[in-house]
Amino acid sequence: MSPPTTLLLTLDCPDRVGLLARITGFIAEQRGNFTEVNQYTDGISNWFLARFAFEIPTTSTLESVRRDFAVIAEELGARWELRDRAKPLRTVLLVSKQDHCLADLLWRWRSHELTIEIPLVISNHDDLRSSVEKEGLPFVHLPIEGNAAEKEGCFRRLADVLSEAGAELIVLCRYMQVFPGWLCAQYPNAVINIHHSLLPSFAGADPYRRAYDRGVKLIGATCHYATEELDAGPIIHQEVIKAEHFHTPDDLRRLGRDCEKLALARGVRFHVEDRIVVHGSRAIVFGD
């Protein structure tokens, strides 16, 4: 016997009395069996946000549930998504020269920890080709160089590659290029980036050495959605490790890599499992 189909429903809408009962009542009418329920009401904006995971009987389909719920969503004035939990997201990874985040995500993909399929890996350098191709994945070398107009053309080619790959999620694994605003807009809340916590205090070259010189006490990383404004998109997840007085600059770099790997992996996991609902500039995360 095949396992039951589990659907993930995420939504947000203005809060009102009886809202949760209306949604759960609909799922009960569909003979759905809840496996997880998460909800949050933002009291400042009076906004309701939720994530529901529920099994449907074999007599129902994703399409039929989606069709019927569309009526409810219109009534509630809700933004919503409904999808099959088992369907992998087509996820394109972008990387430059540092491989720690890429290697970690590839391990989690290979171990079936993340429900994703990776059609290809893109890099603006050729350094990591062998690491990617040994995983049986296509590697696309797409340099981003030249003056502003030439770089714009490079990003246009990158956009074509992403479109041809059918990308549903784009993960910047220490990809050291800034996505232009128009490209972020093509994939709203679907481009995930990572940066270390030393920004903006220690921007530029060798931030860990300058952090060491200042006696920084915390090392961390922030995973967020990419937007037109650099490193200012909704924050998905953050990791932090205490820095001790005996840590050398190399130790701080190692701790930073650990934070970056874990923050990015958890951020991708939350996105893939539809645990994030973006409300304005905030990412509401229903963690696991």
The two three-digit tokens of residue 118, written as one number: 């990776």
Instruction: Report the 10 Å Cβ neighbour count for 141.
Output: 12
Question: What is the DSSP pairing of strand 121-123 with strand 89-95?
Answer: parallel
Across 37-62, b (16+ Cβ under 10 Å) vs e yields: ebebeeeeeebbbbbbbbbbeeebee
Q: Which of 14, 87, 73, 276 is nearest to 65 (CA)?
A: 73
Q: Judge residue 154's burial from the number of C-beta atoms within 10 Å of its C-beta, 0-12 exposed, 13-18 middle, 19 or more buried.
A: middle
Q: How far is CA 24 from the centre of its chain?
A: 27
Whether 231 sits among the annotated catalytic residues: the reply is: yes
- Catalytic site residue from 42, 231, 251, 258: 231
| Residue 227, SS3 per DSSP | coil
**How far, in Å, CA of 141 to CA of 271, rounded?**
26
CB-based contact 255:241 (threshold 8 Å): yes
| Rounded Cα distance, 253 and 28, in Å | 51
User: Active-site positions?
Assistant: 231
